[in-house]
């Protein structure tokens, strides 16, 4: 057996006892967190790649490669916790307005890394995660579109988890497309005045809904910017926890994610206590309601 075939923990122990200890501590921490409520759907606006690179004395576009490695690491943390869906903002439609050299670098990176994500069976296949690329794909170079089709097909058999990569994406486009689709569907069904179109109808036509994503529980934006910037604007609602953290995306890791998950658990437990207290305060009303229902009134 070669070193590359050894389990990650054993390989780390051989190469570095300190690394092995860190990995075991990480697994223990994740196992503890997993005993509590876990978000069904978490989204990451992966911001700060260029500023990270410049801080390292490199060109801004070099930060995107570091950002990809962070994505792989954070994705595995989420999948190990059995988070059903992870959605990431990889490329905004407006990013086509950036310098051509940077856009070309991003397109080349996308073409290479999309297939690489799918081919990393120890991550997506290990956890049964399906890859979806959401957005206005016809804006992408043909070679990137081909890579997307290949990557999606390689994971199409997976049904335990979902990885949504939004590229090129904008909430305005997603919502507009959902409205157009809902209107066409209503007209085809004979509803000419749109009276059957509801908020639920529009939500069901969003790109995240069409691929089976659950409601968004946690939204994370890195780099300290305090805005959504057209990412999952509809999906963010009163039940979504929004975390705007100062860490640049390539630096984001376990100890940035843990406080976010603990805050989610604290909120869920607080809501459960509130419902329990309300039940204790109004038990008679509930019994009376049950009695009326039993009598068929």
- What pLDDT shows up at residue 297? 25
Residue 280 lies in a domain: no
**DSSP bridge pairs for 45:** 89, 221
Minimal CA–CA distance to 140: which of 93, 86, 181, 99? Answer: 93
Residue 152 lies in a domain: yes
List the CATH number of the domain containing 58.
3.40.1180.10
Q: How far apart are CA 160 and CA 126, in angstroms?
A: 10
What would the 3-class secondary structure string for 244-266 be? ECCCCHHHCCHHHHHHHHHHHHH
In whole numbers, what is the pLDDT of the chain averaged over residues?
87
Residue 101 lies in a domain: yes
Residue 223 lies in a domain: yes
pTM of the model: 0.86
Q: How far apart are CA 201 and CA 176, in angstroms?
A: 13
Residue 123 lies in a domain: yes
Give the domain extent around 53: 35-170+216-263
pLDDT exceeds 60 at position 227: yes
Q: How far apart are CA 235 and CA 292, in angstroms?
A: 38
Q: Is 115 exposed, middle or buried (0-12, 13-18, 19+ CB in 10 A)?
A: middle
Instruction: Count up the domains in the chain and report the number.
Output: 1
Phi, psi of 7, deg, nearest 5: -55, 150
Q: Residue 261: CA atoms inside 13 Å, Cβ hemisphere, count?
A: 25
Cis peptide before 168 (omega within 30 of 0): yes
SS3 113: helix
- 92 pLDDT band, cuts 50/70/90, is very high
Residue 26 lies in a domain: no
Residue 11 lies in a domain: no
Q: Tens digits of per-residue pLDDT, 139-195? A: 999 999 998 998 899 899 999 999 999 999 999 999 999 999 999 999 999 998 889
pLDDT exceeds 80 at position 292: no
Residue 192 lies in a domain: no
């Amino acid at each position: 057996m070669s070193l590359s075939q050894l389990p990650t923990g054993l390989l780390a122990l051989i190469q570095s006892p300190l690394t092995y200890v860190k990995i075991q501590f990480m697994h223990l921490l994740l196992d503890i967190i997993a005993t509590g409520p876990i978000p069904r759907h978490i989204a990451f606006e992966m911001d700060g790649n260029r500023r990270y690179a410049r801080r390292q004395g490199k060109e801004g576009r070099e930060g995107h490669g570091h950002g990809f490695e962070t994505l792989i690491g954070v994705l595995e943390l989420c999948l190990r916790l059995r988070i059903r869906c992870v959605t990431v903002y990889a490329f905004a439609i407006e990013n086509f307005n950036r310098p051509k050299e940077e856009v070309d670098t991003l397109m080349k990176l996308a073409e290479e890394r999309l297939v690489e994500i799918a081919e990393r069976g120890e991550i997506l296949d290990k956890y049964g995660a399906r890859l979806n690329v959401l957005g206005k794909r016809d804006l992408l170079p043909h070679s990137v579109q081909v890579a997307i089709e290949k990557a999606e097909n390689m994971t199409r058999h997976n049904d335990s988890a979902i990885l949504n990569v939004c590229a090129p994406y904008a909430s305005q486009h997603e919502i507009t497309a959902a409205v157009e689709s809902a209107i066409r569907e209503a007209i085809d069904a004979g509803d000419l005045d749109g009276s059957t179109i509801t908020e639920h109808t529009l939500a069901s036509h969003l790109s995240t809904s069409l691929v089976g994503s659950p409601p968004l529980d946690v939204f994370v934006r890195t780099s300290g910017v305090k805005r959504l910037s057209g990412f999952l604007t509809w999906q963010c609602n009163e039940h979504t926890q929004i975390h705007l953290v100062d860490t640049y995306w390539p630096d984001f890791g376990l100890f940035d994610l843990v406080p976010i998950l603990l805050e989610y658990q604290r909120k869920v437990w607080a809501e459960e206590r509130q419902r329990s207290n309300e039940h204790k305060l109004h038990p008679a009303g509930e019994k009376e309601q049950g009695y009326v229902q039993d009598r068929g009134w």
